[in-house]
């Protein structure tokens, strides 16, 4: 589905984090809808390198780009040589900056700030030099302990959320200048959908619960899960927001969610209905009480107004659309 009247054919588009979840979906959006666009897919790709929490330093996986016909470059956004090469070799019309350390449990503050904050500003300078509109991934993690999910009420409680606030602050500073480009930051809420599987333990509970159910296991939920509510958003609506952010009425930072909070209990109920498997539910004590968000719900009023964004998928519709991919992954990657 095309989400804009803009014709991206013959445009040159940089997508960072292109072998990751959202980046790879953007790559295929352009390939399927605008086959004459030049898409440059930059990703650091995974190696065996891990961080102090034991998780991979990069989750980028070649399988997310199987079938992609564009240009693939392996490189780290912290590498100024790579950035100079990109700036020299191409003339970008749009930059979709999805690359980041997005694992909220990472404790390496130096690497987090360097990767998420400093590299963003370097890419923004390229965007300005190329007159390329910049669309980048911010995060609902910026809200942290806040009970008001609208821009200006951020209270990050980890270095990842802090790094995304700093990115947004850079945006506000640059928007004070007289620029001939638009800059849009998108605060993603809880995203689920195709090509998230290789995020491993940081993939959504939708795919994790789905595979538990297919294995014949009883899904484990925290006690009171019916009261733990999140704004879960299907990947197609994230792509819609990114595409509409290429021509905003107004540059700025916007929430991308559904505007409706749903429970983890709902996820399991819908999955068992769609998979036609009822393994029941098991309830376990929540060890994170006191350091756990019990509620998130995006205020998307300004997103609708300035991006023309309108969520298309309820949780029921999103999970139903995702089921064939959950089953395929179970057969090819899990079993």
Distance of CA 60 to the CA centre of its chain: 13
| Cα torsion through 139, 229, 321, 189, rounded to 10 | -10
Q: How far apart are CA 70 and CA 27, in angstroms?
A: 8
Q: Is 320 a catalytic residue?
A: no
Q: Degrees (nearest 5) of the Cα angle 245, 72, 139?
A: 35
Q: Is 292 a catalytic residue?
A: no
Q: Which of 3, 94, 143, 160 is catalytic?
A: 160
Q: How far apart are CA 26 and CA 95, in angstroms?
A: 11
In contact, 123 and 97? CB cutoff 8 Å: yes
Q: How far apart are CA 232 and CA 189, in angstroms?
A: 7
Per DSSP, the residues of 209-245 read: HHHHHHTTPPPEEETTGGG-EE-EEEHHHHHHHHHHT
Q: What is the DSSP letter of 8?
A: -
Candidates 283, 277, 282, 264; CA nearest to 216 is 277
Q: Which of 199, 234, 244, 330 is catalytic?
A: 199
Q: What amino acid positions are annotated as catalytic residues?
A: 160, 199
């Amino acid at each position: 589905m095309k989400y804009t009247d803009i014709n991206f054919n013959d445009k040159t588009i940089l997508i960072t984090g292109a072998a990751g979840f959202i980046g790879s979906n953007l790559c295929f959006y352009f390939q399927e809808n605008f086959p004459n666009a030049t898409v440059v897919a930059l990703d650091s790709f995974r190696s065996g390198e891990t961080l102090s929490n034991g998780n991979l330093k990069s989750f980028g996986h070649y399988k997310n780009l199987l079938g992609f016909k564009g240009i693939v470059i392996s490189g780290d956004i912290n590498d100024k040589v790579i950035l100079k090469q990109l700036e020299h070799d191409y003339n970008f019309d749009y930059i979709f900056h999805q690359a980041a350390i997005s694992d909220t449990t990472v404790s390496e503050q130096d690497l987090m700030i360097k990767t998420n904050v400093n590299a963003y500003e370097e890419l923004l300078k390229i965007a300005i030099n190329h007159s390329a509109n910049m669309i980048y991934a911010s995060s609902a993690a910026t809200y942290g302990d806040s009970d008001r999910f609208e821009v200006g009420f951020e209270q990050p409680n980890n270095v990842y959320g802090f790094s995304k606030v700093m990115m947004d602050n850079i945006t506000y500073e640059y928007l004070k200048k007289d620029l001939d480009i638009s800059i849009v930051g998108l605060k993603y809420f809880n995203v689920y959908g195709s090509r998230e599987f290789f995020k491993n333990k940081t993939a959504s509970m939708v795919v994790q619960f789905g595979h538990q159910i297919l294995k014949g296991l009883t899904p484990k939920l925290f006690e009171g899960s019916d009261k733990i509510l999140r704004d879960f958003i299907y990947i197609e609506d994230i792509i819609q927001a990114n595409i509409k952010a290429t021509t905003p009425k107004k540059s700025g930072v916007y929430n991308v969610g559904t505007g409706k909070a749903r429970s983890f209990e709902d996820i399991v109920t819908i999955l068992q209905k769609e998979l036609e498997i009822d393994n029941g539910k098991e309830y376990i004590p929540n060890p994170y009480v006191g350091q756990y968000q019990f509620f998130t719900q995006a205020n998307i009023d300004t997103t609708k107004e300035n991006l023309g964004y309108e969520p298309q998928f309820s949780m029921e519709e999103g999970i139903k659309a995702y089921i064939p991919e959950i089953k395929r992954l179970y057969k090819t990657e899990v079993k």
